[in-house]
Amino acid sequence: MHSINADMQFPVKVGVILVACHYIIGLVDDRSDIDARLRLVLSTLATTAAFWLDPTLVALNLNFSWGINVGMVPAFAFVAAALVLVSFIFAVNLIDGRNGILAGYAMLWLTLLQVTADALPMGYYVTAMLCCGAFLIANMRGLVFAGDSGAYLVACTIGVLGLHAHAEGHVSIDQLLLWFIVPVFDAGRVLAVRLGRGQSPFRGGRDHLHHVLWDHVSHRWAGALYASATLVPSVLSVMVPSLTALWLIAAVAWLLVLSTSPVFFAKLRTV
């Protein structure tokens, strides 16, 4: 496994520019409240341009933990990779509804990618972790907030590192899905519920998983339950990667319990 370094085109040029573009999109939205549809278009255009300039991010084979590799037509792989990254960026932005969530997940994802794929030079990794840790402390005290700019910065960085790690064969596609299961599951569930009700998926609401948890149980329990949905199965996928599919199924089942069981919540409220 090789660290990303200055000799590689992706992170130094196209990757950094793509992250910067999303940070600017988020920053403008924080100041001027851009319509979500316009942000989606801008993100898609920036991502498409980045993949066109540097196609090494686009994996032509989907590698699964149980040893199956699925080849894809280049054009389809290009579209799929762009769709996945843009969707992930917006999904991460949606989970940033409680202090500590974004920074906590950023540190977890960076560590998982570093351990499995040696994603960054160690100095960059340590610097990123220190920055995330400092932000986490200040954010938990209500002193600073990420906003859309911070969420896009984190999501785009993690997303491109994840795509690169998969394209290089360091992590399987189901491992990435497991690590990112909370924003993916939450966005998918909210989208399905809102469309089922005839509501716009772009409107705000208190139907995200963090709202459900923090509205029904104590803050201590809510934080522990929210973290458990990713932390435990992700660590298991690193320790026993061949069983990643099993850990993924367990994580989805646990998220279904957390999002649909008021009786379970009622018991925890009194603890």
Helix (H) or strand (E) holding 195: helix 181-196
Rounded distance, CA 161 to CA 138, Å? 26
Residue 110 domain boundaries: 9-269
DSSP 130-150: HHHHHHHHHHHTTS---HHHH
Return the pLDDT at 224.
79
What is the average pLDDT across 255-267?
67
Average pLDDT over residues 258-265: 64
Give domain status of residue 58, yes or no.
yes
Task: Give the pLDDT confidence score for residue 202 in this predicted structure.
Answer: 67
| Distance, C-alpha 267 to centroid of its chain | 30
Averaged pLDDT, 230-247 = 93
User: What does the pLDDT average to over 225-238?
Assistant: 88
At 51, list the tokens: 């993949």
Identify whether 45 is part of a domain. yes
Residue 148 has pLDDT above 50, yes or no: yes
More confident residue, 108 or 206: 108
Whether 1 maps to a domain, the answer reads no
More confident residue, 179 or 219: 179
Q: Phi and psi of 68, rounded to 5°?
A: -95, 135
Q: Does 148 appear as a known binding residue? A: yes
Q: What is the pLDDT of residues 58-96, one digit of tens each?
A: 889 999 998 888 999 999 999 999 999 999 999 998 888
Question: In this structure, is residue 2 part of a structural domain?
Answer: no
Asked if residue 99 is part of any domain, the answer here is: yes
What pLDDT score was predicted for residue 211?
A: 65
End-to-end CA gap in the chain: 46
Give the separation between CA 9 and CA 222, rounded to whole angstroms: 42
- The residue ranking higher by pLDDT, 261 or 116, is 116
Answer yes or no: is pLDDT of 263 > 50.
no
The DSSP output letter for 242 is G
Helix 74-95 to helix 36-53 angle (10° resolution) is 140
Q: Which stretch of 79-83, 170-174, 192-196 has the lowest confidence by average pLDDT?
A: 192-196
Structural domain includes residue 3: no
For residue 4, tell me if it sits in a domain: no
Instruction: Please state the domain count of the chain.
Output: 1
Q: Which of 184-188, 200-204, 227-231, 243-247 is the most confident on average?
A: 243-247
Residue with tokens 């999501």: 155
- The dihedral region occupied by 147, where left means phi > 0, alpha psi between -120 and 50, and beta the remainder, is left
CA pair distance 1, 71, nearest whole angstrom: 22
Residue with tokens 């932000």: 135
Q: Are strands 69-71 and 61-63 parallel, antiparallel or unpaired?
A: antiparallel
Which class for 150: exposed (0-12), middle (13-18), buried (19 or more C-beta within 10 A)? Answer: buried
Give the pLDDT score at 2.
Answer: 40
Whether residue 64 is contained in a domain is answered as: yes
Q: Phi/psi at 169 (nearest 5 deg)? A: 85, 15
Identity of the amino acid at 63:
N
Alpha carbons 37 and 261: distance in angstroms, whole number: 33
Q: Which residue has the tokens 């278009």?
A: 41
Segment 83-136, tens digit of pLDDT: 999 999 999 988 887 888 899 999 999 999 999 999 888 999 999 999 999 999
DSSP code at position 64: -
What is the percentage of the chain residues whose pLDDT exceeds 90? 52
